[in-house]
């Protein structure tokens, strides 16, 4: 059976100190991402999702990082789907106020130093590990 494909985009936001922004949602550390809206470019979607989910406004899209795929059951449409997520490297400032989008179940937003990364990667999704490993060539 062919699964319905959902297209999404997200960002790995980095600040001037080289820290990356991670969020705690539904029991896991994650990166901001979301579904592509009708008529929206993939880059615009990535920027919008990072801004909506983190509160950051001054975000610059730097470059494409990678695409990830994962399967899950979508309770809204009542079927198994495959999500294709386009990931981008973004730059932002650590001085900007972080505002977790609580209606998306985001509990916490923090800037993480690369030296602390392993601790957070222990409690994240395989696709998120893939994005971080692509960025840092791990």
Report the distance separating Cα 34 and Cα 1, nearest Å: 25
Q: Which residues contact 27 (CB under 8 A, 6 or more apart)?
A: 123
Report the distance separating Cα 115 and Cα 118, nearest Å: 8
Q: How many CB atoms lie within 10 A of CB 3?
A: 13
pLDDT of residue 72: 85
Topology of domain 4-133 in CATH is Nucleoside Triphosphate Pyrophosphohydrolase (3.90.79)
CA proximity to 10, closest of 24, 19, 22: 22
pLDDT tier for residue 86 given thresholds of 50, 70 and 90: very high
Is residue 1 predicted with pLDDT exceeding 70?
Answer: no
**Alpha helix segments (H runs only) across 1-138:** 42-54, 117-121, 126-136
Domain map (residue ranges) of the chain: 4-133
Report the distance separating Cα 123 and Cα 24, nearest Å: 10
Span 15-50, pLDDT tens digits: 999 999 999 999 999 999 999 999 999 999 999 999
For β-strands 79-91 and 4-14, DSSP reports them as: parallel
CA proximity to 138, closest of 123, 121, 124: 121
Angle at 46 between CA 45 and CA 50, to 5 degrees: 115
Is residue 138 predicted with pLDDT exceeding 80?
Answer: no
Chain-wide mean pLDDT for the chain? 94
Span 60-85, pLDDT tens digits: 999 999 999 988 888 888 888 999 99
pLDDT tier for residue 131 given thresholds of 50, 70 and 90: very high
Is residue 104 predicted with pLDDT exceeding 70?
Answer: yes
Is residue 94 predicted with pLDDT exceeding 80?
Answer: yes
């Amino acid at each position: 059976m062919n699964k319905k494909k959902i297209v999404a985009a997200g960002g790995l936001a980095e600040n001037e100190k080289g820290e990356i922004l991670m969020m705690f949602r539904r029991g896991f550390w994650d990166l901001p991402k979301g579904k592509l809206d009708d008529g929206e470019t993939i880059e615009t979607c990535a920027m919008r999702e990072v801004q909506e989910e983190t509160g950051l406004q001054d975000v610059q899209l730097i470059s494409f990082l990678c695409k990830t795929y994962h399967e899950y059951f979508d309770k809204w449409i009542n079927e198994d789907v495959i999500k294709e997520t386009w990931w981008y490297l973004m730059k932002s400032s650590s001085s900007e106020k972080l505002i977790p989008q609580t209606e998306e179940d985001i509990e916490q937003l923090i800037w993480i130093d690369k030296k602390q990364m392993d601790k957070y990667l222990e409690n994240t999704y395989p696709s998120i590990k893939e994005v971080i490993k692509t960025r840092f060539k791990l």
